[in-house]
Chains A and B, each alone.
Chain A
Amino acid sequence: MANIYEGAVEVSRRTMTLFFMVDASGSMDGAKMGTLNSAIEEVIPEIRKISAENADAAIKIAVLEFSSGTRWITPAPMDAEDFTWSFLTADGLTEFGAACKQLNEKLSRKAFMSDVAGSFAPAIFLLSDGEPTDEYIGELSKLKENNWFKKAIKVAVAIGDDANRDVLAQFTDNKEAVLTVHTPEALTKMIRFVSVTASQIGSKSSGVGKGGVDEAANKQDEMIDKINEVKAAEPDDDGDLEW
C-alpha cells in the first residue's frame, strides 16, 4: 500500500536570511563600491554551496542599500540558489536612520520573516564608510527592540577612517563585532570572511534552553569568537589609505 503522505505534504525547509545592509552614499563612489560589488558577487557561489550542503537550514539573501533614502534590492529574501548580485552605484547622503527603520519593518513575521515557521535568527552584515546624515538614534533604538534583531548575528565593516565606528558598534551592540578595513584587499577579505562565517553559524541548528546553563551563549558570541580569531591572526591593516 502506498504511503498516504508521499506527495501529499507541503514541507518547508528552515531558512536563515543573510541581510546585506550597504551604505551607497556618494563617499563610497569609486574603489570602495567597486571592491564591495566584486567581493560580494564573488562570495555568493560560496553561500549557495553552504545553503545546498547544509542539512539544518537553507540560506536566503536580502539586500538593503541606503543613501538619500533606502531601497530594497530584493523585494523579499531570495534563495541563495537564485540570487545574483546587482552592482550598486554610490550617490547621495548616508541616511542610516531610514535604513534602520526599513530593516525594523521587514524583520517581522508579517514581512520578511513570514515564510517558514522554523526560521533561524538572521545574520545582518552592515557596510559603511561614513557618518549618518539623518536623525538615526530613534530608529536605531526601535530596531534594537525588535526580537529578530536582538537574536541576529550582527557584524559591521567600517570602510576607512571616516566611518563612525561608534555608530556601527551601537548597531552591532558590541565593539568587537566591528571590523575596520583600509584597503580594497582587506575589504574583499572581510566581506568573504563575514559572509561565509555568518552563513555557517547562522544556518546551524542549536537547541538552547531559556534559563538553563548559559543563556548568554548564542550565535552572536560564536561569531565574535571567530572575528577575534581572525583579528589575532591578522591584525588590522596598517591604515595606509589606498582608496
Chain B
Amino acid sequence: MTVIGASHIKRGTVCQDFSLSCELPDRRISVVCDGHGGADYFRSDRGSRFAAEAFTECMKDPDVISVLSAAATQKQQSGRIEQLIKSIIARWNKLVEWDIKEHPFSEDELSGISGKAQRRYETGERLQSAYGTTLIGVILTENFWLGLQIGDGKCVAVSKDGEFSQPIPWDEQCFLNVTTSICDENAAKEFRFCFERTLPSAVFIGSDGIDDCFATDERLYDFYRLTLRSFVQTNDQTAVSQLKDYLPTLSERGSGDDMSVGIIVNTDFVRQNPTAFEKSQQAPQNEVTP
C-alpha cells in the first residue's frame, strides 16, 4: 500500500512511491519503490511504478521458483539471483525507454532542472536517470524466501520466535538523502539480497518515509508489532485498512514523506501464536541504526 506524503500534499507534488503485491497459488510477491523526487528526477513517479511492475513480472515467471529452489550451493544461489536482478533492471530500462519514446521530455519538464542534468538530457545521455527510484521486493514460496533491495528503506523479517531482524545487508552508500538507484550505471552490483530457506512469520518492506518516522530500529519494530497485533485482533481486511488509514497521520507527524509498506504475513501462524510477537517475549536487543 502507498499513501502520498504530508509534505508532498503541502507542496502540491505527486506521490513518487509505488507498491504492488500479488498472491499466486505457489508464491506471494510484494514490492515497494520510492522515486527520488528531486528536480532532476522529474519522472521518478513513473520510474517507481515501472520498477514495481518489472519486479512483479519477473517474479511471476513460472521458472523462478524451480531455478532458485534447485540452487544447491551458495555460489549457485548468488549467480541465479544476480541473473534475476539483471532481468529486473533490463525490464525496467525497457519500460523507461518505451515511455520516453511515447512521451519525449517536454520543455516544461526540462525547465526546472539543474544545468548539468539539462545538458545531459538534451544530449540523450542516461535519460533513465529522470526515472530514478529505489526498490525493495520480496517473494515468498513454500521452500524459500528472497528479498532484493537497491537504495534505502528497510526490509524487516519476523521469525517464528518473534525475533525482528533486517536480513538484507545495509549499503553505506545510502546516507542522508543520497541513495543508490536502479538508474545507476552499476545498478546490478548495487543490489543487495537475502535468500533464506527458513520461512518467516512475517516480512515487512517499507520505503524510507516509514523508517524516517522512527528514532531507532526498535521503534520501527514496535510499529510493525502493532500491525501484527492488528492481524491477530481483527480480520485481514480490517488490519490492512487500519494501517492504510493511519499512514497519512504517520506521515504528518513524522517524516512528511510518501509512505509505502508491503507485508507478507503468515496469518494462521500469527493468530495461533499471538504472544510470540509481543515485546515482553523478547530478550533485549542492541539497537542498530545505519
Chain A residues near B (Cβ < 8 Å): 1, 3-6, 8-14, 55-57, 109, 114-121, 147, 151, 205-214, 216-217
Contact = CB atoms under 8 A, between A and B. Distances in A.
A1 B234 contact: yes
A10 B217 CA distance: 12
B277 to A, nearest CB: 13
A211 B190 CA distance: 11
Contacts, number: 159
Size category of the B interface is 35 or more
A147 B256 contact: no
A10 B223 CA distance: 8
Contact of A10 (B126, B185, B219, B229): B219
Contact of B126 (A55, A116, A213): A213
Given A207-B16, A210-B184, A120 B116 contact: no
A151 B254 contact: no
B199 interface: no
Contacts of A118: 208, 211-213, 254-255
Contacts of B223: 5, 9
Contacts of B44: 207
- Among A3, A13, A214, which residue has the most Cβ atoms of chain B within 10 A? A214
B69 interface: no
Given A9-B223, A213-B117, A208 B178 contact: yes
B177 to A, nearest CB: 5
Contacts of B175: 147, 151
Contacts of A214: 40, 114, 116-117
B177 A206 contact: yes
Interface in B106-164: 113-114, 116-117, 120-121, 126, 129-130, 132
B7 A209 contact: no
Contacts of B126: 213
A214 B112 CA distance: 14
Contact of A117 (B215, B229, B249): B215
Contacts of A9: 222-223, 226, 246, 250
B87 to A, nearest CB: 21
Contacts of A213: 40-41, 113-114, 116-117, 120-121, 126, 129-130, 132
Given A207-B16, A210-B180, A213-B130, A14 B38 contact: no
